[in-house]
């Protein structure tokens, strides 16, 4: 089979659907966007808690990021997918049963918790690096603690965290390849199925690798655009 026949026959499955459900690139992107958005929203309050002075607020968040950054995502996925579903009380409870039976839900949960842990540390680092004078000035103007975060610390910290955050998003795209172990039909699952069907190993994984590379380059380009726009205030000033 030449490469054109290959693309003609399997291109659709690689890109958006296998005929029954979302698959390939579309599934991978959907997983990426969903886990990144959930992780981002959770990580903002968590990063503020991570830098809190009170050890009872800081401690639990530290423990959470320590656990999730110290173990491989694959193990986390296994615990949340096959592990939890093997517990009898989970299967006995209709709501939990319905949630953990679906490989997609477990995958999304594992991915979101994992990326949230890394993102929390990235944002916490950026918050700690906020220039001392900015916070002092904000306090001197009489802003409440909440307002200092909302108006001064977070807008600048989230921008300064952008380069590190873009790395995390790209690593998360790489991590979505684990989804196939929980039967989610992502790009790598399609490649594996095609490989099993055709024995054309180089073509089936090569095409997937190419699509991943394209996605990574697109993300790099997007973040570069974002940095130009949102980090303009850090550039050396010219008069």
Partner 1 sequence: MFLEGFGSLILDGTIATIKLALMSMLLAVLLGLAGASAKLSSNRWLRNTATAYTTLIRSVPDLVIMLLLFYSLQIGLNNVTETLGFDQIDINPFMAGVITLGFIYGAYFTETFRGAYQSVHPGQYEAAIAYGLSPNKAFRRIMFPLMMRYALPGIGNNWQVVVKATALVSIIGLTDIVKVTQDAGKSSMQLFYFSLIGGLIYLAITTVSNGVLVWLQIRYSAGVRRADL
Name the site residues for partner 1 (rule: CB under 8 A). Answer: 66-67, 70-76, 78-79, 82-84, 86-87, 173-178, 181, 188, 191-192, 195, 201-202, 205-206, 208-209, 212-213, 216-217
Output 54-61 pairs: Cβ under 8 A, ≥24 positions apart: 61/120
User: Among residues 17 and 181, whose Cβ is nearest to partner 1?
Assistant: 181
CB of 149 to partner 1, least distance (A): 22
CA-based nearest residue to 162, from 233, 213, 67, 211: 233
Q: What is the dihedral of CA 34, 40, 41, 47, to 10 degrees?
A: 150
CB of 103 to partner 1, least distance (A): 15
Instruction: Decide: 185 and 27 in contact? Cβ < 8 Å.
Output: yes
User: Among residues 127 and 208, whose Cβ is nearest to partner 1?
Assistant: 208
User: Among residues 148 and 207, whose Cβ is nearest to partner 1?
Assistant: 207
Angle between helices 162-175 and 103-128 (to 10 degrees): 160
CB of 51 to partner 1, least distance (A): 15
User: How many other C-beta atoms can be found within 10 angstroms of the C-beta atom of residue 145?
Assistant: 11
Output 220-224 pairs: Cβ under 8 A, ≥24 positions apart: 220/166, 220/170, 223/162, 223/163, 223/166, 223/169
CB of 85 to partner 1, least distance (A): 8
CB of 193 to partner 1, least distance (A): 12
User: Among residues 152 and 208, whose Cβ is nearest to partner 1?
Assistant: 208
User: Among residues 8 and 66, whose Cβ is nearest to partner 1?
Assistant: 66
CB of 147 to partner 1, least distance (A): 26
Tokens of 183: 């039967």
Tokens of 32: 């990426």
User: Among residues 93 and 144, whose Cβ is nearest to partner 1?
Assistant: 93
């Amino acid at each position: 089979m030449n490469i054109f026949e290959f693309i003609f026959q399997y291109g659709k499955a690689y890109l958006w659907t296998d005929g029954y459900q979302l698959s390939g690139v579309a599934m991978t992107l959907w997983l990426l966007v969903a886990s990144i958005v959930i992780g981002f929203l959770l990580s903002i309050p968590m990063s503020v808690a991570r830098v809190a002075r009170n050890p009872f607020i800081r401690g639990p968040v530290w423990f959470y990021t320590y656990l999730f950054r110290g173990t491989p995502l694959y193990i986390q996925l296994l615990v949340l997918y096959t592990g939890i579903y093997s517990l009898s009380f989970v299967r006995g409870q209709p709501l939990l049963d319905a949630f953990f039976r679906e490989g997609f839900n477990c995958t999304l949960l594992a991915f979101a918790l994992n990326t949230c842990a890394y993102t929390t540390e990235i944002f916490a680092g950026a918050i700690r690096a906020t220039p001392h004078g900015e916070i002092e000035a904000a306090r001197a103007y009489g802003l409440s603690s909440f307002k200092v975060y909302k108006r001064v610390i977070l807008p600048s910290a989230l921008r300064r965290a952008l380069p590190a955050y873009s790395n995390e998003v790209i690593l998360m795209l790489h991590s979505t390849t684990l989804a196939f172990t929980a039967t989610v039909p992502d790009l790598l699952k399609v490649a594996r199925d095609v490989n099993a069907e055709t024995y054309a190993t180089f073509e089936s994984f090569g095409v997937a690798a190419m699509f991943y590379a394209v996605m990574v380059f697109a993300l790099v380009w997007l973040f570069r655009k974002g940095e130009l726009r949102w980090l303009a205030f850090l550039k050396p000033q010219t008069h």
